[in-house]
Each structure stands twice: as C-alpha cells, then as structure tokens.
C-alpha cells in the first residue's frame, strides 16, 4: 500500500505518545505511522492494544540515541515527518540520575536531528511526494523555570475564567531558566532543534506544554499515583506543604493541539500549549479524594486522612502557568474538556482499568512484552 505520508512518532508507547499515535493512526488512514520506542520502564505497548493491528501502524523497538538505526528507519520508511516525544520525563528520577536524562533527551534528540538532516537536506527538505518535511519537537513548560505565587489564595484571571495564583505567565518569549535536571535536558534539546533550523534550514516546530493528565499515565506521576493509592487506602505523599501550582491539560487536548500544529503550524515557530487551568497540589489532591471516594461508594472525607506531608522535592518549582493565547489566536485551538469533566473521566478510567494498573505496578507488562520486543 502507498501512503501519502510516512511519519515517525518517537515515544509512542508512553503516556502522551500513545494518545498521539492513536489519534494519527485512526484519523489519517493514508499516513503510515511508525512508532519508534525503546520500551523503557515508561513504555508499554498495552497502551496501544486497540490499534496495534491497523494496516497503517508499525512498531519499531529502537533507541533514539542509536544514530545508525535512526538513519536506517528514516530511509527504509521514506520518512517525511517526525513527531518527537521520546524522553525521560519524570523530575524525581532526573534528580537521582541526571545522566540518563542528558543521554536520552539531549543526545537522543541530537541523533534524531542528525539522521533527519542526513536524509532530508540533500532533497531540499522535501519528502518523496514533494511535501515539506517537518521535525516537530514536543517540549515542556518546565524549561521556563518557575513563576511567583503572588496570589496564594488565587484570584480571577483577566485572560481566563479560571483562578490564577500569580500575575505572570509563561509566554513563547519567556526566558529559559530550567531548574531540574529534567527541565535542563529538555531546554538543551529545544536549543538543538532550533539550532538545526537556524544553521541548516531544517523545518522545525517546538511546542511547550503544561502538565498532562488522563488515561495511560505511568503511576509515578501525581494523578495516577494518587488515584491508585486512594483506591488501595495507601498514604498520599504530598511534597512540602502542597502549595505548588501546576497547570493541567487533558492529554487528548494535547494530542489535538499536536495534530493541528503538525499540519498548520508555521515552521520555526514555538507554540505554548495549556488550558489556563491552575491548581495547587493540595487542592487537586482533595478533588481526587472526593472523586475516588464517591465512585467507590465511600462516605465523603473517608480518605482525607491518607494525606501525608513529606520532605519537599529538591529545587521544587513553585508555579507553572502557560499563556496559550498565540495558539488560540493563530490556529484557533482550544481545549475541549473542562477540568471537572476531564478529572472525572480520568478517575473513572483508572478505576475501570485496574488490570492495566496492576500490570504496570507489578512490572508484569515488561515481562509480557519481553518475549516479543525487549532485548
Ligand atoms: P513517558 O515517560 O510516559 O513516555 C516516554 C516514552 O519514551 C516511553 O514510551 C519510553 O519507552 C520512550 N523512550 C524513553 N527513552 C527512549 C529512547 N532512548 N529511545 C526511544 N524511546 C525512548 O513520557 P510522557 O509523559 O508521555 O511525555 C512525552 C513527551 O512529552 C516528553 O518529551 C515530555 O518531555 C513531554 N511533555 C510531557 C508532559 C507531561 O505532563 N507528561 C508535559 C509537557 C511535555
Ligand atoms: P509530577 O506529576 O511529578 O509532575 P511535574 O513534577 O512534572 O510537575 O508532580 C506534579 C506535582 O505534584 C509537583 O508539584 C510535585 C507534586 N508531587 C507530590 O506532591 N507528591 C508525589 O508523590 C508526586 C509524584 C508529585
């Protein structure tokens, strides 16, 4: 079968990547989607069970740091687009093991860029069908550093209907000031991507998104970890005083933004993606407790005593808040879900997919796919 486009999505077995792969495979049957993933602890092919037999989907177990392999995949599949999500993504792990983050996030991105350049530059950055090639790099708002908490109690925002906790927001022009090894490695990779545009003319796009939540997120991150702990009546480790603020976006809304930007975004531009949805950790934790307790038929307040304040994360960024006005004005994107709806959907999904959670927490998902793909 001839495909109109051949697109590599890296990190497609991870949380956000699996939603992006599913969206592209189902919405664009004429595209061949090549999921390139190393299957680290965070990669789980069970996230893609429903689409794995689609005729326009291919899985390639590969490490993005392996330049020769990336080059081979680019050539073998006539790749004309890359949506790059593969990364080490958990801040706490980066504090313990920064080398792995530098390797994958910086060197891995560079290896992918260099492979794409080797194949695309000689053809004038156009694919076999004459379409312009595109290297789309998925990054995070954490590269911008941390914002002040000038309104600890929250105030109505001028630019959104939601409460905000400070006067400033991350825009596309905010200076990079990463604090954690994770955000430093992502910032470095963003710089490399832009350098490939400025130096060689590679058609690149970078987006910086706020915290995502939704189905298939690895339960080391706040929302799935806490839903699972509440379900099993285990302590909820709140770092510091729980006063840190994060800006949450439903993962499918991130995937819809990626789809729009991949197709309509302007080369060399940066777009911030976020839903103007700031929450203090302790408030979101109370929403999770309330929702899980209600869905499990427990009385209101039943799990509140699970809240356990623990030593703060080192260098814990105080507040993230994205201003996504540019994306809204230039490309017309808005998130589809209100937070209340998104969190209800998410909690229900985890409660109804206990088998998925058990597989992940027991490590069985790694054993299962060992035989097929793991080395
Ligand atoms: P994740 O940790 O759930 O998934 C990462 C995926 O990358 C896994 O499938 C893993 O196997 C794969 N991978 C890791 N190292 C690899 C390597 N060397 N070669 C090939 N594959 C490798 O991450 P996520 O939360 O889905 O995040 C995806 C991307 O989005 C990351 O680039 C992250 O920085 C960015 N991002 C995440 C968030 C968030 O809230 N999760 C927000 C903004 C941006
Ligand atoms: P996390 O989901 O790790 O995302 P990020 O660090 O990229 O924002 O954490 C979200 C917030 O929740 C962050 O402020 C740290 C806090 N947190 C806890 O308080 N306890 C936990 O066990 C975890 C995992 C996170």
Strand partners, 163: 156
Ligand 1, residues at Cβ distance < 6 Å: 10-11, 13-17, 37-40, 42-43, 63-65, 85-89, 104, 108, 138, 140, 186, 209, 211-212, 218
Query: Is 182 annotated in the active site?
Result: yes
Annotated catalytic residue 60: no
Q: Could you say which ligand is closest to the alpha carbon of residue 209?
A: 1
Please give all residues whose beta carbon lies within 6 A of any atom in ligand 2, as ranges. Answer: 91, 211, 221-222, 225, 237-239, 244, 246, 281, 313
In the residue annotation, 141 being an active-site residue is answered as yes
For residue 269, what pLDDT is reported? 98
Query: How remote is the CA of residue 300 from the centroid of ligand 1, in Å?
Result: 36
Per-residue pLDDT of the chain (375 residues; tens, 9 = 90+): 789 999 999 999 999 999 999 999 999 999 999 999 999 999 999 999 999 999 999 999 999 999 999 999 999 999 999 999 999 999 999 999 999 999 999 999 999 999 999 999 999 999 877 889 999 999 999 999 999 999 999 998 777 678 899 999 999 999 999 999 999 999 999 999 999 999 999 999 999 999 999 999 999 999 999 999 999 999 999 999 999 999 999 999 999 999 999 999 999 999 999 989 999 999 999 999 999 999 999 999 999 999 999 999 999 999 999 999 999 999 999 999 999 999 999 999 999 999 999 999 998 888 766 556 554
**What residue segments make up the domains of the chain, in order of their start?**
5-372
Query: How far apart are alpha carbons 215 and 344 in whole angstroms?
Result: 11
Of 136, 182, 213, 271, which one is the catalytic site residue? 182
Provide the residue count of the chain.
375
Architecture of domain 5-372 in this structure? 3-Layer(aba) Sandwich (3.40)
Cβ–Cβ under 8 Å, residues 152 and 245: no
**92, 239, 289: residue to mutate for ligand 2 pocket, most atoms within 8 A of CB:** 239
Report the half-sphere exposure of 229 (CA within 13 A, side-chain side).
22
pLDDT value, residue 212: 98
Question: Ligand 1 centroid vs 130 CA: distance in angstroms?
Answer: 30
Q: Catalytic residue, from 37, 63, 88, 142: name it.
A: 142
Q: What single-letter DSSP state applies at residue 266? A: P
Q: Whose CA is nearest to atom 37 of ligand 1?
A: 140
Q: Give the closest residue (by CA) to ligand 2 atom 9.
A: 222
**Ligand index nearest the alpha carbon of residue 37:** 1
CA dihedral 288, 356, 229, 298 (to 10 degrees): 60
Distance in angstroms (rounded) separating the CA atoms of residues 318 and 62 = 36
**Euclidean distance between CA atoms 304 and 110, whole angstroms:** 46
pTM of the model: 0.97
> In a 3-state reduction of DSSP, which class is residue 205?
strand
């Amino acid at each position: 079968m001839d495909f109109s486009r051949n697109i590599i999505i890296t990190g497609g077995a991870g949380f956000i990547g699996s939603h992006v792969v599913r969206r592209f495979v189902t919405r664009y049957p004429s595209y061949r989607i090549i999921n390139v993933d190393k299957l680290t602890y965070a990669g789980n092919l069970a996230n893609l069970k429903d689409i794995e037999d689609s005729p326009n989907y291919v899985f390639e177990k590969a490490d993005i740091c392996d330049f020769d392999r990336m080059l081979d995949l680019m050539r073998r599949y006539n790749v004309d687009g890359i949506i790059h999500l593969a990364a080490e993504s958990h801040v706490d792990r980066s504090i313990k093991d920064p080398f792995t983050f530098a390797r994958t996030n910086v060197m891995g991105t560079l290896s992918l860029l260099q492979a794409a350049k080797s194949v695309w530059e000689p053809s004038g950055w156009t694919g076999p069908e004459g379409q312009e090639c595109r290297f789309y790099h998925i990054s995070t708002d954490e590269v911008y550093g941390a914002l002040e908490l000038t309104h600890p109690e929250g105030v109505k925002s001028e630019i959104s209907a939601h409460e905000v906790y400070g006067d400033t927001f991350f825009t596309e022009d905010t200076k990079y000031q990463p604090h954690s090894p994770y955000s430093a490695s992502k910032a470095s990779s963003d710089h490399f991507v832009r350098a490939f545009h400025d130096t060689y003319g590679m058609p690149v796009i970078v987006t910086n998104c706020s915290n995502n939540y939704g189905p298939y997120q690895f339960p080391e991150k706040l929302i799935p970890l806490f839903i699972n702990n509440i379900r099993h009546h285990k302590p909820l480790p709140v770092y510091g005083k729980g006063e840190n603020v994060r800006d949450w976006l439903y993962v499918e809304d991130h995937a819809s933004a990626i789809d729009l930007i991949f197709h309509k975004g302007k080369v060399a531009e940066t777009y911030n993606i976020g839903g103007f949805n700031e929450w203090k950790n302790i408030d979101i934790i109370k929403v999770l407790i309330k929702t899980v307790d209600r869905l499990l038929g427990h009385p209101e307040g039943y799990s509140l005593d699970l809240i356990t304040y623990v030593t703060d994360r080192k260098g814990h960024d105080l507040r993230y808040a994205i201003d996504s006005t540019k994306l809204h004005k230039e490309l017309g994107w808005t998130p589809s879900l209100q937070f209340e709806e998104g969190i209800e959907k998410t909690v229900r999904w985890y409660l109804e997919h206990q088998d998925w959670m058990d597989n992940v927490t027991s490590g069985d998902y790694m054993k299962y796919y060992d035989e097929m793909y793991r080395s």
